[in-house]
């Protein structure tokens, strides 16, 4: 199983570390041609305006959309969620528009930009998951096809629509591997 992590900006190294810990092959992706042969793609946290701009400069948007339309799983964390979303801050369309959610950037607190909180993962028993929020986007609305997988303060913070997974916090910054394992389990088994 070979997973690519978009390595234009942000914390791609941390995702790679967790994927390797789970026994997956993980590679940095810097050019659209490197999507070839991947079983899944992660768009990491960082700064969505920078990631969006760099993606356009390298010709990524169309290629990632094609990759997702083939059914390959794509996982966006924090800024990566913003890149994948349908609508940002009530008006702008997301760069990839691959998941039917409206998000608000930097929605969790002004004075404190970061926080940690326990959430329950619907797919992984009752043991709390410690979620790290860093200037996190908030999912304000989700279409009927979007399944909520975890919530914090009444709002969905982890969600899936078919082969697209999004998370408003940073699962790559904790030692708990359950969310990355869930993503790996989304990859269709080869015959």
Active site residues: 78, 170, 172
Structure tokens that stand for 113 in this block: 């930009």
Please give the size of the binding site for ligand GLN, defined by CB under 6 A: 11
Say how far apart CA 110 and CA 58 lie, in whole Å.
33
Contact stretch for ligand GLN (CB under 6 A) within 33-41, 46-54, 57-65, 155-163: 46-54
Q: Is-contact 171 10, C-beta < 8 A?
A: no
Say how far apart CA 72 and CA 35 lie, in whole Å.
11
Does 30 participate in binding ligand GLN (rule CB under 6 A)?
Answer: no
Task: Collect all residues with Cβ–Cβ distance below 8 Å to 144 and sequence separation of at least 6.
Answer: none
Contact stretch for ligand GLN (CB under 6 A) within 74-82, 142-150, 158-166, 181-189: 74-82
Query: Mask of contacts with ligand GLN, 77-116, x by CB under 6 A?
Result: -xx--x----------------------xx----------
Task: Report in angstroms how near the CB of residue 16 gets to ligand GLN at its nearest.
Answer: 16
Say how far apart CA 116 and CA 133 lie, in whole Å.
6
Pairing state of beta strands 114-119 and 147-152? unpaired
Does 46 participate in binding ligand GLN (rule CB under 6 A)?
Answer: yes
Residue 179 or 187 having the CB closest to ligand GLN = 179
Task: Report in angstroms how near the CB of residue 93 gets to ligand GLN at its nearest.
Answer: 15
- What is the radius of gyration, based on Cα positions, of the chain? 15
Structure tokens that stand for 75 in this block: 């996982």
Residues 121 to 180: which contact ligand GLN by CB under 6 A?
134-135
Q: Which residues bind ligand GLN (CB under 6 A)?
A: 45-48, 78-79, 82, 105-106, 134-135
């Amino acid at each position: 199983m070979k997973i690519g992590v978009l390595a234009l900006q942000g914390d791609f190294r941390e995702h790679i570390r967790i994927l390797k810990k789970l026994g997956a092959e993980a590679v940095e992706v810097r050019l659209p041609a490197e999507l070839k042969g991947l079983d899944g793609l992660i768009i990491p946290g960082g700064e969505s305006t920078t990631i969006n701009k760099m993606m356009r400069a390298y010709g990524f948007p169309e290629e990632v959309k094609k990759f997702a339309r083939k059914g390959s799983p794509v996982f966006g964390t924090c800024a990566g969620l913003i890149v994948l979303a349908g609508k940002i801050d009530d008006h702008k369309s997301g760069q990839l528009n691959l998941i039917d959610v409206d998000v608000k950037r930097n929605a969790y607190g002004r004075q404190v930009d970061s926080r940690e909180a326990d959430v329950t993962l619907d797919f992984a028993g009752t043991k709390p998951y410690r979620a790290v929020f860093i200037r996190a986007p908030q999912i304000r609305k989700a279409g009927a096809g979007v399944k909520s997988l975890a919530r914090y303060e009444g709002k969905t913070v982890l969600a899936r629509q078919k082969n697209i997974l999004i998370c408003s916090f940073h699962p790559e910054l904790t030692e708990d591997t359950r969310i990355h394992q869930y993503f790996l389990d989304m990859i269709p088994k080869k015959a």
